[in-house]
Chain A
């Protein structure tokens, strides 16, 4: 069974640009969550999608948005990038959202 797949693995962007990250969950999993991980803040919850609906949202500015498609794949978008957005972005999939979550390898975003 294939695991959670995130693309791209690495990204370098300039301040002010926007970026889109992709996450393909484990087959059959309908819940996809996104997290930002930085050395200082640890893993911070961004949002969670289930059956194409956002069910939960963390305390991030509106520049961070996401969506989920009918095949459960999810995308996360960050607009008007800031230096502080440099982080590892992790996606996790779960059958329902209240069960164990399995993580992808992450996308390392560097904003210069």
Chain B
């Protein structure tokens, strides 16, 4: 069965710290990996990764995919309190449905 595992489950850091969130997957037919940020209700799209080794970057956030080792990381540098959220990783496995991990709850302490 297709599976997506995120770690850590929760993380508490101080403002200004850098964090790395992990997402690994077991695949039958990998198509793409997506990262979302969920603060209150709607998950908001961050990145979509399809190729190994190519970093996607947006401001202080960046992400990279390793298709050989079946994982992705999401980095956030110089964290701010507004980065506090649940970060979700999801994978397209050969069809049109997204399989989500359980998420990492990130808390930034001022």
A residues engaging B (CB < 8 A)?
Answer: 4, 31, 33, 35, 42-45, 48, 50, 55-56, 58, 88, 90, 92, 94, 96-106
Contacts and interface: CB of A to CB of B under 8 A. Distances in A.
Contact of B44 (A33, A97, A103): A103
7 contacts: A43-B43, A43-B100, A45-B99, A92-B98, A100-B34, A103-B45, A106-B41
Contact of A105 (B34, B42, B88): B42
Contacts of B42: 4, 90, 103-106
B36 to A, nearest CB: 8
Contacts of A42: 100-103
Main secondary structure of the interface of A (DSSP, over half): strand
Contacts, number: 58
Contact of A56 (B31, B45, B95, B102): B95
Interface of B: 31-32, 34, 36, 41-45, 48, 88, 90, 92, 95-103
Contact of B43 (A44, A50, A103): A103
A31 B92 CA distance: 14
Contacts of B88: 43
Contact of B41 (A44, A98, A105): A105
